Amino acid sequence: MSRIGKKTITVPSGVTATVNGQQVSIKGPKGELSAVLVDEVIAKLEDGEINVGPRDETKRAQAMWGMSRTVVANLIEGVSDGFSKTLEINGVGYRAAMQGKSLQLSVGLSHEVNYPVPEGVSVECPKPTEIIISGIDKQRVGQVAAEIRSYRPPEPYKGKGIKYAGEYIFRKEGKKK
């Protein structure tokens, strides 16, 4: 039994949800999102609540139950509140700046890195050492954050690089004489 899957998803006011077979569409103040659920689960819209349940008692249906419920909950949270991730840049001379529709990173490479920001995601740099990525699609926001971080992940000796806000970097001790 999925403990997460058993929870019902309440549709907040200002958000409209439609369930058409395996297609779930959510429309809210920030935009519109939709997802196609796997065939092993059933979604029902009743009294302003969405219930997701397994179609049968197979192992795959049980596995997809909680995941499908979380996907629908993320759609609702995205169109009502949105998602954001914050990246921090550590290192002497490491900085980021927006240049039109692309993010320009100076992270110790022989060249500047220009990252074109994809549609549906907004990137801003309030400080040269801080990048805020926001949007309504949780998967897309996380993917953009991971791609930006991959240009210079934090190293374990001095902690230089691009890291998520609040991420703990395990530090190693350097060479001893």
- Give the Cα separation of 35 and 72 in Å (integer): 8
Q: Which residues contact 111 (CB under 8 A, 6 or more apart)?
A: none
Q: Do domains 3-80 and 83-164 have the same CATH topology?
A: yes
Q: Per CATH, is 3-80 categorized as 3.90.930.12?
A: yes
Inter-axis angle of helices 59-80 and 138-149, to 10 degrees? Answer: 90
Are the C-beta atoms of 5 and 40 separated by less than 8 Å?
no
CA distances from 163 to 66, 104, 126, 129, 150 (A): 29, 16, 16, 11, 9
Domain ranges of the chain: 3-80, 83-164
What CATH number is given for 83-164 in this structure?
Answer: 3.90.930.12
pLDDT string in tens for the chain (177-residue length) = 668 888 999 999 899 999 998 999 999 999 999 999 999 999 999 888 999 999 998 999 998 999 999 999 999 999 999 999 999 999 999 999 999 999 999 999 999 999 999 999 999 999 999 999 999 999 999 999 999 999 999 999 999 999 999 999 999 998 888
H-type alpha helices, the chain: 3-6, 59-80, 138-149
